[in-house]
Structure 1
């Protein structure tokens, strides 16, 4: 009787989730129109944040409140876009993908498909309910025998589902990054290690971009994430308008090939793979913005010294399937020997160069996908220098956007909720505890929201004038 009651409750939850999924379909996908983002035909600006930790805490029922709190505070500050990790590779049971292609994903996909069938007609509901109960009784028996139900992997898979569900409630679009360039959370290094364990002879981690076995592992991960059915909303990720865009890699670099050809080929191949599965969402490469061989004068004049790392801002963003360009900005990391005013001057010139190239060479929107200023550096006290960096970035974005340019928004690194001191890296912003910086952020939200409304009114006026016979 207990099992029967649990199954009935689970089925009701699935049906309720599917209704939520239908509602989510009305929210609209972010699109690209020229050098601008649009949502439901209106200009869309991305004032937002990074929060890499969302999936990890979303997988822990005891910590989920922090996800809800952070997203609620972000929405209250007018933030419209968040960026987070859709990866956690290797590292045992705590990982999302604990070995190549191993996610324990089939269970969730079956539940999603069963519900989709069960909502079609009364007869189909009854037939699918019987099939569901028969299958699930067998599943529960095997699940309890295997003790998988208590595995962190099983629970972690629901973490990102929860994040997307909460983001939708708060009206926040999400950018999901699919793999890391660095070792944290597995990254390229973990994929290469998996291939070595299967007998592949691989030299450096840069062979992530060229080894067929490694590329196969990564393509499988892409397919798994994009086709996942959210266990809370009942919506497949590839159909979920809560997701603004996919990101191929967090900060791709290939220092073994400074020509940029290796990374260029990989971006083109993986972009085609993403688009073959999901034609609804936008896609970006995850670039930091370093210039390469296609623009040698820019590489010399704009890049920080020593930061030619096999990426090429202009060429990489011209790869078929890439919908918008990204740039990151960390002058305190890249130019630690300069004083704060000199770092700000570099920051302004860095952003100006990328805005100009997004407008001219690329003709696509530009998103400042990461920026920040550490408060742990010697001589830093209070929020003044951090606020100056935020103000410089926000000012460049707003001026470009107001002039009809390509700068479409900026995402600061990183947003935390209260009680997350162990996640602090010096760049963290807790909106409820950083009144000065929170004010700078909220002001930018208001400016961009006002700009979007003004553009929307102007567009409607123009359409009405044209409809009445105007030129």
Structure 2
């Protein structure tokens, strides 16, 4: 379902924040820059609703680890800010393999960490908020597979990659990574990550799945444990689990929307965990309905969005973000008009909810690129000056959301 195999080949691989937090960058006071909070089903910033309209750019840390390439990060943020985008979701992980962040459990690549330092400082400069994901479900950039391999090397009896969620040694490795990232002292801003309001929130895992336990109890226990641990270190920031939105036993009627995906997750139960502050949904109808018509894809998408927004509004009582969506230009017969229609469909659902004070709190398209990043093209990329109609839809969405009070 997910397109990581295409995009990562070159690697080998209730908030309790402080009031009126001030970050001093380059010796200059930049005024009141608060942590994003949750109030009811909305995000709040400086007392007003905040909408997480933005993009994914998983490549930021890797590119920024090379100082000669950092201009590409700056260029992407500058272009995004011109389109009024506010939130960036990116990776705070790269485990083992080529040029990793984490060479081995607890052993970190300072050059890569300084790349992430730059990403955070540059996001601050351009008025962006970051959602940082802490590990991958998939083996790209290591993920849970690398963690269980590390545990095997210590003599642990590992049955499958899903032991990531249950093995005590693996869980300790992951908790240590949480601590290492959250307590990282940014070499550019001088601010520890856990104290930096540039970061909107943390994501426990990109698209967690546990196929060996489709009941959902394994993921439920893991999210509960890791959310509690993360919040014991950092009560400033929001937290989400990284879910795609598949339903579980807590809403058996809606399991038909899972399209036969057996993920071991439960959109309702997993997001009802106390330390999870907001829900996420991913949407890739072109991957889920291969060889199906545009009408079939869009019809499902509308139901998928409306169901999750309604659940967030009436059951979870938390905001929900459409954290990944897109349409590949590489599929036969795909054109810009079809991608624009998908963006319009998703943005319209968000606006309909947001304009009434509802739970839909934003959307993050996959993925933003700028020039000079051709190796990262996966068919889903948006380069603004190459896709002017899509760029206009993105800009208009941001402008409308900003006008909602």
- TM-score, reference length from structure 2: 0.93
Pair 1:348-2:353 in alignment: no
Residue number in structure 1 paired with 2:196: 240
1:208-357 pair list within 5 angstroms: 208-300=164-256, 302-303=257-258, 305-357=259-311
Q: 2:6 matched to 1:50?
A: no
2:384 is the alignment partner of 1:428 = no
2:346 equivalent to 1:393: yes
SS at match of 2:131: strand
1:19 to 1:327, Cα distance in 2 relative to 1, 3 A: closer
Task: Summarize the alignment of residues 81-230 of structure 1 with structure 2, pairs less than 5 Å apart.
Answer: 81-92=87-98, 94-103=99-108, 153-230=109-186
In the TM superposition, what is the alpha-carbon distance from 1:62 to its structure 2 partner?
1.6
TM-score, structure 1 normalization: 0.80
How far off is 1:26 after superposition?
Answer: 2.9
Comparing 153-162 with 400-409, greater Cα deviation is found at 153-162
Give the CA deviation at 1:420.
1.1
User: Aligned partners of 1:412, 1:182: CA distance in 2, in Å?
Assistant: 20
Answer whether contact 2:244 2:282 (CA < 8 A) is retained: yes
> What per-residue deviation string (whole Å, max 9, x for no partner) do you get for residues 377-435 of structure 1?
01123x11110110000000000000111000000000001121110000000112211
1:244–1:23 distance in 2 versus 1, CA, 3 Å: farther
> Does the aligned pair in 1 maintain the 2:162–2:210 contact within 8 Å?
yes
The equivalences for 1:2-41 within 5 A come to 19-20=25-26, 23=29, 26-41=32-47
Which residue in 1 is equivalent to 2:11? none
- 2:68 paired with 1:68: no
Distance 2:329 2:191 in 1: 40
- Matched residue SS, 2:38: strand
CA distance in 1, matches of 2:204, 2:30: 24
Pair 1:286–1:45, CA change in 2 (3 A) = same
The Cα shift of 1:25 comes to 7.7
- Cα distance, 1:309 vs. partner? 1.1
Q: How many residues align?
A: 383
Deviation track 1:413-467 (CA, whole Å, cap 9, x = no partner) reads: 000011211100000001122111100100101110111xxx2xxxxxxxxxxxx
C-alpha displacement at 1:22, in angstroms?
7.9
Aligned to 2:15: none
- Specify the SS of the correspondent of 1:98: strand
Structure 2 gaps, min length 5? 1-22
What SS class does the counterpart of residue 350 from structure 2 fall into? helix
**Structure 2 counterpart of 1:147:** none
Distance in 1, matches of 2:49 and 2:181, equals 28
Task: Select the structure of larger CA radius of gyration.
Answer: 1
CA distance in 1, matches of 2:136, 2:385: 30
Please tell me whether the aligned partners of residues 24 and 30 of structure 2 are also in contact (alpha carbons under 8 angstroms): no
Output the aligned Cα RMSD.
1.3
Q: Which structure carries more helix by proportion? A: 1
Residue 24 and residue 293 in structure 1: after superposition, are their counterparts in 2 closer, same or farther (change >3 A)? farther
